[in-house]
Amino acid sequence: MEIRLLFGIFAFCMGAIVGSFLNVVVWRVPRGMSLLRPPSTCPQCGHRIRPWENIPILSWLFLRGKCSSCRQPISWKYPAGEVAVGLLYWAVYWRVVNDGMLPLSTILGWWWFAGAVLSLARIDYEKGVIPNLVTYSGAIAAVILAVVFPYGRPAIAKPKDLNLGSVLSRPVVSCLSGVGQPAVGIRLAAVADALLGILLAVALLGSAYWLGRAMLQAWRKRHRDSDAPREPLGWGDIKMLAMAGAFLGADACVYLLAGGALVGFVVGVVLLARRKKSAGVWSSMPFAPFFAVPALLWVVYGNWFYLLFELFTPQPF
């Protein structure tokens, strides 16, 4: 068997195992429960899930989607979540390997990022929150990975690749990578690339937050509209973009924010058009599911902006 296929299967299995853990994260974290205790039980009868009932995807199939004790159905969302992360992990692996220029260590950060973004999208869609546990742990992991595997960051490995977005990070990276010993300079540049991403995310969405809040305040006063929200976006959204900046660098922040807003706008227009009676202009929509579209596209394919550019550029014969 071809070695790449073998590693691809390994990537899928890793993703399915991580997906199984992320199912627990998606359920427990927004409910303020511990990830370690108590052990998983059937929500209907309290039957404790035994190890062989906890094998990703396979156990659900063997049990035919039912609890082994009370025979109540187990949600299809569990195996679906495991398959989704498995496919994502496989796609990230496939992209990095076929790129030829990206080192294998890129996969680690992108795997973490993809799993975190998918979980945030699910949690935000179901509960309307973006837990700090996911965003903070992601940002910290990104900085640690930058120190350990500096070449795992495209800004270091492929500083001139515009498709990966390197307009903003290039000057900083080229300036710092020459400092002192090469090994020290490269690590410094990689960490700076991550911190620059966090800073830009906070600056971009932070200013949008203050501006939007002032505008909403003016609206409330002028139109005596007490239904208008007080905040234009949540702090969780800002932290989510900061995590993306930590993993992917400053340039990615700009493209992912614009991409998420674009997807949100399109979905919003479709929903408004389909709604027969307006249920209020101010109905809030979670941002993470929209943000996940360009964010996951970024790690499995590349910059959505250049993808659009390629799609609408006529190909020469």
> 238 and 205 in contact (C-beta within 8 Å)?
yes
Q: How long a stretch of residues is the chain?
A: 317
State in angstroms the smallest separation of the CB of 169 from Zn ion.
Answer: 51
Q: How far is CA 250 from the centre of its chain?
A: 15
Nearer to Zn ion, 4 or 71 (CB): 71
State in angstroms the smallest separation of the CB of 48 from Zn ion.
Answer: 10
Pick from 214, 208, 225, 218: nearest CA to 281: 225
**Structure-block tokens of residue 130:** 């973006």
Residue 44: CB minimum distance to Zn ion, A = 5
Residues in the site for Zn ion, rule: CB under 5 A?
42, 44-45, 47, 67, 69-70
**Beta carbon nearer to Zn ion, 46 or 171:** 46
HSE-CB for 169 with a 13 A CA cutoff: 38
Phi and psi, residue 41, nearest 5°: -130, 165
The distance of closest approach from Cβ of residue 31 to Zn ion in the complex, given in angstroms and rounded to an integer, is 19
CB of 71 to Zn ion, least distance (A): 7
Grouping H, G, I as helix, E, B as strand and the rest as coil, residue 48 is strand
* Cβ proximity to Zn ion, 44 vs 75, nearer residue: 44
Pairwise CA distance, residues 215 & 219, whole Å: 6
Tell me how far apart the alpha carbons of residues 11 and 17 are, in angstroms, rounded to a whole number: 10
> Closest separation between CB of residue 95 and Zn ion, Å?
40
User: How far is 198 from 151, CA to CA, in rounded Å?
Assistant: 19
Nearer to Zn ion, 62 or 309 (CB): 62
If the CB atoms of residues 64 and 160 are measured against Zn ion, the closer one turns out to be 64
Q: Are 8 and 2 in contact (CB under 8 A)?
A: no
Sign of CA dihedral 128, 132, 134, 135: positive
Q: Which two tokens stand for residue 155?
A: 């800004």
CB of 194 to Zn ion, least distance (A): 44
Measure the CA–CA gap between 26 and 6, rounded to whole angstroms.
30
Nearest to residue 220, comparing CAs of 206, 205, 230? 230
Q: With respect to Zn ion, which residue has the nearer C-beta, 6 or 70?
A: 70
**69 vs 105, beta carbon nearer Zn ion:** 69
Helix (H) or strand (E) holding 17: helix 3-28
Nearest to Zn ion of 70, 203 (CB atom): 70
| Minimum CB distance to Zn ion, residue 228 (Å) | 45
CB of 35 to Zn ion, least distance (A): 21
Comparing CB distances to Zn ion, the nearer of 13 and 42 is: 42
Query: DSSP characters for 237-270?
Result: HHHHHHHHHHHH-HHHHHHHHHHHHHHHHHHHHH
